[in-house]
Structure 1
């Protein structure tokens, strides 16, 4: 039934593909299961493939370290970034413009063995050092970091962050819950890490370069088609994640 609904949605969206096809550069970074550089797979790659089918445009993913991706977006060298909450980038030089949301990111604390404690509010982290990915912004913790109440320790990416936690170099990290769960399943010696409390939940969208804002109506329509057909839920479900 869902296949038939999706096919019907594609027919209804045929007008989207009538315009001249364009190529857009999409900034990716290794962020399993959302973006998996090895094999160029993952949830966001499959979403891009679906977007391409519906809109008729080509979306070329380029893998970069996250900090470099942010700089290239500012310079207009990257057109799109998937999975962004507007509040994360509102202080950037070029915040961008945004599609309608397509999914959620839930951030959780993950603890080294024997280090778990209850965290009801960000203030419960007072005096602690929290491991994060360099370049990531967390609105709930911004003031606490700025005042020195909570200390920040950066890693290059989520893989390094999880490895440092497992090696005892950090006591707690803040990370996307889906990424943490996927990592624990993939790496046996992460099994003793403790996934703790949720510290933030965000509706994420596609961040678009202001110079490419004419693309937004097509993106929004395509996302609605994918939601109605169940395509987004199907893609997330393949990786054991909810959108």
Structure 2
């Protein structure tokens, strides 16, 4: 009996081996990336990219730390290189840190549209068709195919900080301006703000900004095991239909 008690005491005193969860820093753009990254006051995160990231890094195995920052501050934080094992989304078509280290598989194909007031429709076959007109753009983002003409003042630009502001400017300026944005973002935010799509024209803008793929973007020095895990999980999600299921939910 004494031997049994002694054995139990030894077991209780033995150090318990614990395993720290691998920390992943997930970077979210504040208020401008719906439906890819949605949140309510920096809480209750979901969205296409967020749901994909959560699927790849379950809470049982990873410490997924979410950082919600304004776009420019997020980019500055990533460029400083002090944050380890970060992940967000990006594209080979984008400049800077969001294009340096991308997932092998794309997660979304992006098309752009020009949103105009219903009673006025632009005929857009090239950027030249916008000369002398005004485009509404989200502050802080790059627009390949437009930037050069805006710099040359061939096209006027109004920068806004939110989708609600963009829709208000479209309604106010009528035939004088159109809102350029990813088609999926326009449709999502019209629905979120309970605006009727039939009140607007949604014109294909691929002749100015070519379609391109979005990928998961990772730290240039991402841990190799984590990077391999990301790529393997994306392959599984694509083959199982989970990737399409997440996209279709938005």
Q: TM-score, normalised by structure 2?
A: 0.77
After the TM superposition, which parts of structure 1 deviate over 4 Å for at least 4 consecutive aligned residues?
A: none
Equivalent residue number for residue 85 of structure 1: 91
Go from structure 1 to structure 2 and tell me whether the alpha carbon gap of 1:144 and 1:71 turns closer, same or farther (over 3 Å shift): same
Query: 1:17-63: CA deviations, max 9, x gaps?
Result: xx974212122122222221123222222111111139943332222
Indicate yes or no: 2:201 matched with 1:194: yes
Q: TM-score, normalised by structure 1?
A: 0.79
Correspondence list, 1:8-157, <5 A: 21-29=21-29, 30=31, 31-38=33-40, 39-53=44-58, 56-76=61-81, 79-82=86-89, 84-89=90-95, 92=96, 95-100=99-104, 101-157=106-162
Q: Distance in 2 between matches of 1:213 and 1:86?
A: 21
Coordinate RMSD, CA, aligned: 2.6
Q: Distance in 1 between matches of 2:45 and 2:168?
A: 22
Go from structure 1 to structure 2 and tell me whether the alpha carbon gap of 1:62 and 1:115 turns closer, same or farther (over 3 Å shift): farther
Go from structure 1 to structure 2 and tell me whether the alpha carbon gap of 1:157 and 1:68 turns closer, same or farther (over 3 Å shift): farther
User: What is the aligned length?
Assistant: 218
Once the two structures are overlaid, the 10-residue window that deviates more, 41-50 or 212-221, is 212-221
Go from structure 1 to structure 2 and tell me whether the alpha carbon gap of 1:94 and 1:186 turns closer, same or farther (over 3 Å shift): closer
Q: Which runs of 5+ in 2 are unaligned?
A: 1-18
